[in-house]
Amino acid sequence: MGKRKTIAIRTGFTVLIGLMALTMILPILWMISTSFKIEGEVFEFPIRWIPRTLDLENYAEAWNGSFDFPLYYLNTIKISVLSTILQVTVSAMAAYAFAKIKFRFSNIIFMVYLSTMMIPSQVTLIPCFMIFKEAGLMDTHLGLIILTSFSVYGVFLLKQSMGAISGELSEAAIIDGAGHFQIFTRIILPMSRPSLVTLAMLKFIWTWNDYMNPLIFLSTTNKFTLQLGMRSFSSEYGNQYGPTMAAAVLSIMPLMILFLVCQKNVIEGISIGAVKG
């Protein structure tokens, strides 16, 4: 096959898939474009991708309207950050125990952990709801953070990477009189940094986008997360598409920017989870 022909095929396919990639982000572009439009322009056809005037009214409406988006931002950031830190810490400690300490029943406990990985949250949510109601944790951020801070997946992911770390350094440290706490904090944690970052990224994205847990466990409007706010906004502003799209942009953009910055970690993390899962 001639080299020139290969280049032609390649360019052709690049254009083809490029067009498809464009179609994939078209709804997102449409959302952004509509968020700047006045109501009359929204459904104009053929679609006017760049609005006549860049109207910021819609954003003002979403930001200062009857739903307190600045507050939802704070709530979401608070819940996502705390529950990510908590989950990574708890998972790392458990992963260390499973991967590096020989203790009684560790294999059995790990098997039990794994066997519950497929349980749909619908099964556990109803009892959790009742437990939280009894414990007074309903409609609190604390309850939501605690609820989402445990995951079998996190333990599994970190155990895989900690298990791959060679034991030589730890053994040398034991001879020097180091305990498990020192080995954990000084040797194992720094060496498993890439997978800690991966888990943190994935968990942060999941919590930020989580809808079902906040829907069930939060009821007061001023405790809402961004996703709940978005949902309420769209049902109240139903037919005002401009402000609704502005609100959608507000709830998608922060994460999209974060993803574009850290895309390598996220994509690697998702692939690792699959290859080993």
Q: Cα dihedral angle (109, 117, 219, 254), rounded to 10 degrees? A: 110
Of 91-120, which residues contact other proteins (CB under 8 A)?
Answer: 91, 93-94, 96-98, 101-104, 106, 109, 112-113, 116, 118-120
Q: How far is the CB of 241 from other proteins (least distance, A)?
A: 5
Nearer to other proteins, 49 or 60 (CB): 49
- Token pair of 22 as six digits: 């464009």
Chain length of the chain: 277
Stretch 15-34 residues interacting with other proteins (CB under 8 A): 16-18, 20-22, 24-25, 27-28, 30-31, 34
Q: What are the φ/ψ torsions at residue 47 (nearest 5 degrees)?
A: -60, 130
What number of CA atoms fall less than 13 Å from residue 141's CA on the CB side?
17
Q: Is 184 in the site for other proteins (CB under 8 A)?
A: yes
For other proteins, give the closer residue by CB, 60 or 257.
Answer: 257
Number of residues that bind other proteins (CB under 8 A): 93
* Of 102, 99, 270, 277, residue with least CA distance to 192: 99
175 counts as binding other proteins under rule CB under 8 A: no
Query: How far from chain centre, in Å, is Cα 58?
Result: 27
Among 62, 137, 218, 266, binds other proteins (CB under 8 A): 266
Kindly tell me which residue out of 129, 178, 182, 191 binds other proteins, with binding defined by CB under 8 A: 129
Q: Which two tokens stand for residue 55?
A: 């109207």
Single out the residue of 209, 25, 155, 171 nearest to residue 33, CA to CA. Answer: 25
Using CB under 8 A, pick the residue from 40, 127, 167, 190 that binds other proteins.
127
Give the pair of three-digit tokens for residue 50: 């760049």
Q: Is 9 in the site for other proteins (CB under 8 A)?
A: yes
Based on the shown chain and the rule CB under 8 A, indicate whether residue 71 belongs to the binding site for other proteins: no
CA distance 219 to 79: 15
Q: Hey, which residues between 201 and 220 contact other proteins (CB under 8 A)?
A: 205, 208-209, 211-212, 215-216
* Residue-wise DSSP of 51-107: -SS---HHHHHHHHSSS-HHHHHHHHHHHHHHHHHHHHHHHHHHHHHHHH---TTHH
| Sole residue written with tokens 């067009």 | 19
Residues 36 to 65 in contact with other proteins, rule: CB under 8 A: 43, 45, 47
**Residue 267 beta carbon to other proteins: minimum distance, rounded to whole angstroms:** 6
Can residue 153 be called a binding residue for other proteins (CB under 8 A)? no
Q: Work out how close the CB of 180 gets to other proteins at its nearest, in angstroms, rounded to a whole number.
A: 4
Residue 145 lies near other proteins (rule: CB under 8 A)? no
Choose, by CB under 8 A, the member of 82, 152, 157, 196 that binds other proteins.
152
Q: Output the furthest CA–CA distance in the chain (Å, rounded).
A: 76
